[in-house]
């Protein structure tokens, strides 16, 4: 039972004191995942408190999602069904994001749309549209990441670049130990190198560069010139590859588009920890004392919270007004968290009375390096109270224009008219919303942040539950961050309670393969070829000049 005390101060005012074994600071999705897992494991044998600094939570979405449920009747399984189940299992094993989504969806009996959890089931044999910078449009019969709409050399170099990124991920996060000095220097190299420099240094054609810049913006929520290579590789590593981030099996983009999935997960998790959640005034100071306790002082000093172990589940900007003891958070780490840039993306949703694009033979999928639409798809069908299923809709991401205060509505409709014809000019409704829940570390800070959230370097008093992944809109990332924080807390509180399944899950992914030949081939691209051609030509000219000089 959580211990509460009330005492009288020197001025005669009462002051409350709450003591617990573990306090989770913040009701972000990673925070309540951590609290849920601890409560489920220890029940009433440990005092756990969740501090809600944001006040009452918003109601969950009323919308439900239509999805293909797996039949419970084993006798009805056909050979095709078995094949689909095997494919589903393989897809989940090959993707960290889908693993966590499916794990918690099963625990809380939540429907997850096939567009996220099993995208191979909902692929339609309809044309997708790719739009070049000059406005010309190409129809794609398969997927955008196959790059059949590019010329041969462009397709070769962008495929080679993605192979290079995949090899880099294996070398950085899997093959080597990041605790060794030499590998730490390698990580710092990737971190000091911005993504923009990396793209320009490896890609020769403008179209290839524009596609990669757009991919970085979609994956990280920020433009390529503000994202470090290491951060981008880490985001790609979670979904097993740098490929397929534009459609197909990718989950990150679809999670942000289908925000009601996050609301449903958060609602169920909040219900499970409601009895241990306290509404608190803003925290002004976090300090420790000699008896190894962490003390949290509220802004008005009405309540003091004391615990043995604190789990921080705050966003970086929420730390700015809190004074944290140097023993708990060094000034270097304070600087890192304060310097993280808020990423920004824009989402749009346009509804029509009729699904005219399908009648024209299009799937509604759009990829454009021209903008304002960067990436779009047909919104999955919805059902339930308050739904708008009678309307067809396109939903996707827009290019952010900081100077455009009126929105991009006219430009979006103009682009859709060019893609689908005049029927796109008269929508039933159109709206834009900001997706601003992602935080990007500046180049040079990501390694320090990884050290801050690493379990071998974490302070014995504080565990970070949210800074490892900087987005709550990315549902799977938030679930993963909370699960990782839970494993770290468990290793401090009850090391013997950590199960083999817990350790295996927190170590994902380990399925990427590597061999010396593929590592060497990944470095073969057009830029390298041009450089070597120049070196060989210079060598031949030099040799001939020397021979001519000696002959004279």
CATH code of the domain in which 534 resides: 1.10.405.10
Last residue of a domain, one of 375, 402, 435: 435
| pLDDT average, residue stretch 415-437 | 89
In whole angstroms, what separates CA 461 from the centre of its chain? 27
pLDDT at 5 over 60: no
Check residue 390 and give its pLDDT: 73
Asked whether residue 387 carries a pLDDT value surpassing 60, the answer given is: no
Q: How far apart are CA 203 and CA 135, in angstroms?
A: 22
Judge if 390 and 465 occupy the same domain. no
Looking at the fold, whether 336 and 318 belong to one and the same domain comes out as yes
Please, are residues 233 and 220 in contact by the beta-carbon 8 Å criterion?
A: no
Q: Is the same domain home to 188 and 316?
A: no
Q: Please check whether residue 163 lies inside any domain of the structure.
A: yes
- State pLDDT tens for residues 76-96: 444 544 445 455 555 555 677
Q: Is residue 228 domain-shared with residue 306, that is, in the same domain? A: no
**Whether the predicted pLDDT of 99 surpasses 70:** yes
Tokens coding 435: 């997706």
Quickly state the pLDDT bin for 132 (edges 50, 70, 90). Answer: very high
- Euclidean distance between the first and the last CA atom of the chain, given in angstroms as a whole number: 98
C-alpha 539/C-alpha 533 separation (Å) is 10
**Do residues 40 and 171 both lie within one domain?**
no
Higher pLDDT, 515 or 203: 203
Answer yes or no: is 89 within a domain. no
Confidence of residue 404 (pLDDT cuts 50, 70, 90): low
CATH number at residue 54: 3.50.50.60
Same domain, 451 and 335: yes
Distance, in Å, from the CA atom of 511 to the CA atom of 488, rounded to the nearest integer, reads 23
Q: Give the max Cα distance, the chain.
A: 105
pLDDT of res. 56: 53
Show the CA angle centred on residue 200, arms to residues 198 and 206, nearest 5°: 140
Stretch 268-293: mean pLDDT, rounded? 86
User: Given a cut of 80, is residue 333 above it in pLDDT?
Assistant: no
Q: Which residues contact 30 (CB under 8 A, 6 or more apart)?
A: 313, 465, 466, 469, 472, 478, 479, 481, 482, 485
Q: What is the pLDDT of residue 73?
A: 41
pLDDT band at 113 (very low <50, low <70, confident <90, very high): confident
Q: What pLDDT does residue 181 have? A: 62
Q: How many CB atoms lie within 10 A of CB 398?
A: 24
- Of 532 and 423, the one with more pLDDT: 423
54 vs 309, residue with greater confidence: 309
Q: Do 179 and 232 share a structural domain?
A: yes
pLDDT of residue 57: 52
Write down the mean pLDDT value for the chain: 78
Same domain, 227 and 187: yes
Residue 117: inside a domain, yes or no? no
Number of domains in the chain: 3
Domain C-terminal end among 435, 466, 489: 435
Same domain, 157 and 238: yes
CATH code of residue 362: 3.90.660.10
Do the domain assignments include residue 79?
no
Can you tell me whether residue 349 is helix, strand or coil?
A: strand
Confidence at residue 145, expressed as pLDDT on a 0 to 100 scale: 87
Q: Which residue did the predictor score with more confidence, 126 or 228?
A: 228
* Same domain (yes/no): 334, 349: no
Using DSSP bridges, classify how beta strands 127-131 and 362-368 pair: parallel, antiparallel or unpaired: parallel
Report d(CA 296, CA 307) in Å as an integer. Answer: 9
> Over pLDDT 70: what percentage of the chain?
77
Q: Length of the chain in residues, anyone?
A: 552
163 compared with 503, residue with greater pLDDT: 163
> Which of 435, 456, 483 is at the close of a domain?
435
- Give the Å distances, CA to CA, from 137 to 127, 154, 421, 427: 12, 17, 13, 22
Tokens at 93, concatenated: 């094993």
Q: Which domain holds residue 324?
A: 3-59+273-341+440-506
Q: How far apart are CA 10 and CA 12, in angstroms?
A: 6
Judge whether residue 228 has pLDDT over 60: yes
Identify the CA nearest to 241 among candidates 96, 109, 343, 116: 96
| Per-residue confidence band for 496, with pLDDT thresholds at 50, 70 and 90 | confident
Q: Minimum mean pLDDT among 178-192, 237-251, 338-352, 484-498: which range?
A: 178-192
CA nearest 341: which of 254, 218, 453, 445? 445
Q: What is the pLDDT of residue 252?
A: 78
pLDDT at position 91:
53
Do 172 and 227 share a domain, yes or no? yes
Look at residue 137 and give its three-state secondary structure: strand
Considering the domain boundaries, does residue 138 fall inside one? no
Instruction: Average the pLDDT over 153-180 and give the result.
Output: 79
Cα radius of gyration (the chain): 26
Same domain, 156 and 231: yes
């Amino acid at each position: 039972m959580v211990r509460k005390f009330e005492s009288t101060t020197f001025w005669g005012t009462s002051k409350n004191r709450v003591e617990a074994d573990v306090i989770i600071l913040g009701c972000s999705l990673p925070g309540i995942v951590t609290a849920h897992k601890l409560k489920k494991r220890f029940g009433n044998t440990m005092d756990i408190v969740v501090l809600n600094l944001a006040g009452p939570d918003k109601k969950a979405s009323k919308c439900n999602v239509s999805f293909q449920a797996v039949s419970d009747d084993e006798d009805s399984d056909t050979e095709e069904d078995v094949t689909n189940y095997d494919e589903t299992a393989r897809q989940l094993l090959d993707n960290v994001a889908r693993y966590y989504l499916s794990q918690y969806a099963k625990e809380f009996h939540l429907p997850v749309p096939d567009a996220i959890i099993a995208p191979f089931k909902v692929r339609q044999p309809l044309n997708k549209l790719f739009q070049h910078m000059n406005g010309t449009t190409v129809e794609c019969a398969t997927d955008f990441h196959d790059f059949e709409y590019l010329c041969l050399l462009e397709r070769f170099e962008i495929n080679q670049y993605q192979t290079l990124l995949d090899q880099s991920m294996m070398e950085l996060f899997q093959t080597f130990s990041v605790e060794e000095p030499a590998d730490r220097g390698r990580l710092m190299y990737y971190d000091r190198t911005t993504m923009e420099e990396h793209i320009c240094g490896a890609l020769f054609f403008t179209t290839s560069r524009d596609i990669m810049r757009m991919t970085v913006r979609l994956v990280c929520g920020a433009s390529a010139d503000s994202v470090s290579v290491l951060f981008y590789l880490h985001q790609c590593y979670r979904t097993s590859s740098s490929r397929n981030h534009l459609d197909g099996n990718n989950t990150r983009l679809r999670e942000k588009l289908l925000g009601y999935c996050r609301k449903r997960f958060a609602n169920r998790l909040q219900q499970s920890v409601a009895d241990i959640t306290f509404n608190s005034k803003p925290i002004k100071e976090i300090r420790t004392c000699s008896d190894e306790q962490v003390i949290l002082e509220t802004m008005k000093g009405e309540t003091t919270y004391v615990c043995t172990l604190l789990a921080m589940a705050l966003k970086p900007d929420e730390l700015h007004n809190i004074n944290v003891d140097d023993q708990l958070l060094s000034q270097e780490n304070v600087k890192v968290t304060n310097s993280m840039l808020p990423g920004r993306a824009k989402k749009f949703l346009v509804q029509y009375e009729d699904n005219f694009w399908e009648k024209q033979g299009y799937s509604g999928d759009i990829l454009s390096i021209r903008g304002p639409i960067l990436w779009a798809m047909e919104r999955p069908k919805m059902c339930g109270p308050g739904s708008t299923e009678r309307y067809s809709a396109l939903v996707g991401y827009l290019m952010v224009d900081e100077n455009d205060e009126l929105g991009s509505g006219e430009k979006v409709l103009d682009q859709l008219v060019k893609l689908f014809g005049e029927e796109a000019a008269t929508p039933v409704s159109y709206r834009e919303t900001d997706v601003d829940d992602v935080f990007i570390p500046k180049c040079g800070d990501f390694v320090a942040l990884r050290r801050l959230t690493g379990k071998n370097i974490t302070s014995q008093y504080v565990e970070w539950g949210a800074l490892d992944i900087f987005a709550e809109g990315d549902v799977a990332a938030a679930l993963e961050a909370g699960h990782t924080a839970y494993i770290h807390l468990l290793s401090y509180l009850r090391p013997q309670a950590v199960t083999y399944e817990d350790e295996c899950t927190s170590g994902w992914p380990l399925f990427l393969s590597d061999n010396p030949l593929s590592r060497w081939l990944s470095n073969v691209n057009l830029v390298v070829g041009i450089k070597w051609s120049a070196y060989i030509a210079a060598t031949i000219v030099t040799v001939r000049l020397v021979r001519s000089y000696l002959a004279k």
